[in-house]
Structure 1
Amino acid sequence: MDSREVMEIFKRTGAYLEGHFLFTSGRHGSNYMQCAKVLQYPEYTIEFGREIVDYFRDRGVDTVIGPAMGGVVIAYEVARQLGAKALFAEREKGVMTLRRELKINPGEKVLVVEDVITTGGSVREVIDIVEKSRGELVGVGVIVDRTGGKIDFGVPLKAVLSIELISYPPEECPICRTNIPLVKPGSRNL
């Protein structure tokens, strides 16, 4: 898939939003990629998963893990296509962790998968879990890389869509000086 096709899917499903948004990272921006609106359609989830799987297919992935909530669906689909174990990490008292007796065994080859990367904070937290579990990180897969390819996790990265969408620290946000209300459309409330 090329970036034009991916953007068309986001627009068709109402997943590409314009306005004034607060991201999980705390930054503000005028564009939001609401992957949950795309992932409600299995045909797109399968297509996006295939893009990530094709890149990592020959890396011997044992486990795919995504941060809750955004990475859960796409991590599951990537794991399904790879025939791997699917895990998710979630926050407990503000710290990303494995719960529900889920675990990564030492030496397991692990692929971290996320829906959208803005600063990479959630992905880095999941990478820390992989490293503390003594798993072998083989790469990161993401549906949307908002940094336009500028992010570096020190491992191979596959983005279905790499697009530079500007975000601002709250104190420097020019949108805050307008009458456009700040919205947090993701999985965490303001």
Structure 2
Amino acid sequence: MISNERVIEILKEAGVLLEGHFRLTSGRHSNKYLQCAKIFRNTKYSEELCAALAEQFGSEGVEVVIGPAMGAVQMAYEVSRHLKCENFFAEREADGKMALRRGFEVKPGMKVLLVEDVVTTGGSVKEVLELVKAAGADVVGIGSIVDRTGGKIDFGVPFKAVISVEVESWEPENCPLCKEGKLELVKPGSRKV
């Protein structure tokens, strides 16, 4: 089991934790942002963190690991490598809905692990969860490297993270950084809000 100290060390070394004035995918504002995509630019970071996550689901008989594109494509691969199973990803179609494409298919009863690099509201994961459940698969759990919910999210299946990190955020109208007007608002994530 990896220690929180080691995880924080990796996140700092990888340049994951950013400080400034950020608009999150949820629309809320924050003075910190976790750019977890940076974990996957070097296998020395992703291998250790994804192995720690895979270890938490190792006894579940996972047959496939699925992550929402784009953020969890590499993560699904790395976690599946440690679990010695298949992996693929869900992606948005032209209508904006998540779908399994490219010949990726889950079958009824298949044991599926869903992964996401960071969970804040769980929106993308919930979409993939519904998609996979509708196909009749058995979702054994959801795993993330970083849980930003403070353990407050309930997906209806086990949710495990390598680390839980609390990052303060505000509705735009209550943002102290906007009121100060000193820092430019930046949207660093993959989705346009």
Per the normalisation by structure 1, the TM-score is 0.94
Q: Does 1:45 align with 2:43?
A: no
Contact 1:148–1:165 at 8 Å: present in 2 too?
no
Q: Does 1:21 align with 2:39?
A: no
> Which whole-Å CA distance do the structure 2 matches of 1:165 and 1:155 have between them?
24
Name the structure 1 match of 2:155. Answer: 153
> Which whole-Å CA distance do the structure 2 matches of 1:149 and 1:127 have between them?
18
> Which whole-Å CA distance do the structure 2 matches of 1:98 and 1:122 have between them?
13
**1:146-179 deviation line (CA, Å, top 9, x unaligned):** 1122222122121111011122232332222232
SS at match of 1:59: coil
> Which whole-Å CA distance do the structure 1 matches of 2:85 and 2:50 have between them?
13
Per the normalisation by structure 2, the TM-score is 0.92
Superposition pairs for residues 17-166 of structure 1, below 5 Å? Answer: 17-92=18-93, 93-166=95-168
> Which whole-Å CA distance do the structure 2 matches of 1:130 and 1:171 have between them?
37
Structure 2: segments with no counterpart, 5+ residues: none
Contact 1:104–1:135 at 8 Å: present in 2 too?
yes
Contact 1:76–1:86 at 8 Å: present in 2 too?
yes
Structure 1: segments with no counterpart, 5+ residues: none
SS at match of 2:78: helix
